[in-house]
Structure 1
Amino acid sequence: MTKSELIERIAQESGLPKGRAEMVVNTIFDSMTSALIAGDGIEIRGFGSFTVRLYKSYEGRNPRTGDVVHVAPKRLPFFKVGKELRERVNGSWDAESEAAVEAVSAPAARPAAAPAPAKPSTPRRRDESLSEDVI
């Protein structure tokens, strides 16, 4: 569900004009954002809670170049699902849903890998060129 779909749904179910529903949704999101920026948690009983987690700096790697990159400390929002929401989501779980997930998550059958070429019996020195029979 996108923000636009949420606004549309609120407008339909509440009878509010679409512009008013958009204002309500924006006010809720702005209030939640302000609370998280201030370091406050948000708890919506039955739904879940939002908190801010602190992450220390660390040395990472650029996957493309392999260079060491310093990653600065940061604060990121974290959502923990509430018990009621978790139970409702899992309550709609049935055998058909489980079969669909198993079909998607099952590893695809891969053809057997070709055996690795045999290594030469004597080690080559760097200055030796490869002979035609090794290539």
Structure 2
Amino acid sequence: MTGTLTRADLADALHSEIGLSRADSGEFVEQILAHMCNALADGENVKIAGFGSFVLRDKGERIGRNPKTGVEVPIAPRRVLTFRASQMLRDRIIDAD
């Protein structure tokens, strides 16, 4: 498989592999993603065993530099979302090469 895995692809997989109707499959995917988004918005991390973890980190204020002009500018503190793949997923990716 090449390209990008989409919500529709996930719903199609549920439909073909589990036998849910197309409408139910799409709704199921939407509910899972909405639950994950709500948890992250509430400041919780999301861990999916065998896949990886979505982790929120707070980054402090720091000084950055405009690469074009060299002028220093302050970068405001912010919250960033990072993904850390599980060892199982890393092993599968390496073996896929």
How does the TM-score come out when normalised to structure 1?
0.59
Question: Which whole-Å deviations, capped at 9, do the CAs of 1:3-58 have from their partners, x for residues lacking one?
Answer: 22222222221211121111111111111111112221222111111110111122
CA distance, structure 2, for counterparts of residue 11 and residue 67 of structure 1: 54
Partner of 1:5: 9
Mapped to 2, the partners of 1:89 and 1:22 lie a distance apart of: 27
Question: What CA RMSD, in Å, does the superposition of the two structures yield over aligned residues?
Answer: 1.8
Q: Which stretches of structure 1, 4 residues or longer, exceed 2 Å deviation after superposition?
A: 58-71
Partner Cα distance (2:48, 2:20) in 1: 23
Aligned to 1:31: 35
Residues 47-58 of structure 1 aligned to structure 2 (within 5 Å): 47-58=51-62
Larger relative contact order, structure 1 or 2 (CA cutoff 8 Å, min sep 6): 2
Alignment coverage as a number of residue pairs = 93
Q: Secondary structure at the match of 1:50?
A: strand
Determine which structure has more spread, i.e. the larger CA radius of gyration: 1
Note the C-alpha offset of 1:70: 3.2
Offset at residue 62 of structure 1 (A) = 4.2
Q: Which stretch shifts more, 58-67 or 23-32?
A: 58-67
More helix by share: 2
| 1:86 aligns to 2:93 (yes or no) | no
Residue of structure 2 in register with 1:15 after alignment = 19
1:89 offset after TM fit, Å? 1.6
Quick one: percent identity of the two aligned structures? 34
Q: Which runs of 5+ in 2 are unaligned?
A: none
Residues 1:70 and 2:74 are matched in the alignment:
yes
Secondary structure of 1:49's partner? strand
**SS where residue 32 of structure 1 aligns?**
helix
